Amino acid sequence: MTPEVFVSDLKRNVHDPAIDGVLSQLAEPSGRRPGPKLRELSSWFNSLPEQHRENVRSAVGLGVHAALFGVLCAIDGVTKVTDATVELRLRSAGEVLVLNADSDECLHDLYQAEVYEQLFGPVV
């Protein structure tokens, strides 16, 4: 696996489902007794016209992006979280790959390229 494949998998298996999961909870909260705040947000969300729901989808996407981008910046060492160095290792079939090893592109840059148009629109 390469850092590019890891970031692509991260988008497909974390980024996209996080957005869809939040929107699903807003549309129809799960559980026997959803909390009052979630019920209130759901009522508000369901009362919105479709265009406004799309705006909420965009805002949720920005929130997911900010969280994942921030974590990847921390892993890449461009955002300091601790005095220690963070190393992201992937073990597969007996091989170990350090995904944030010194390379031409950082994980947060690869992620940004992967999601940019979806979140921010076409590059001008």
**pLDDT recorded at residue 102:** 67
**pLDDT recorded at residue 94:** 87
- 3-class DSSP state for residue 124? coil
What is the pTM for the complete model shown?
0.88
Q: Would you place residue 7 in the very low, low, confident or very high pLDDT band (cuts 50, 70, 90)? A: very high
Phi, psi for residue 87 in degrees, rounded to 5: -130, 125
Q: Express each pLDDT in 81-117 by its tens digit.
A: 888 888 899 888 888 988 887 667 899 999 999 999 9
DSSP string covering 27-87: HS--SSS--HHHHHHHHHHHHS-HHHHHHHHHHHHHHHHHHHHHHHHHHHTSS-SSSSPP-
**pLDDT recorded at residue 103:** 66
Q: Would you place residue 2 in the very low, low, confident or very high pLDDT band (cuts 50, 70, 90)? A: confident
Pairing of strands 89-92, 95-98: antiparallel
Site of tokens 């979140």: 119
Task: Give the angle 43-19-30 at the CA atoms, nearest 5°.
Answer: 45
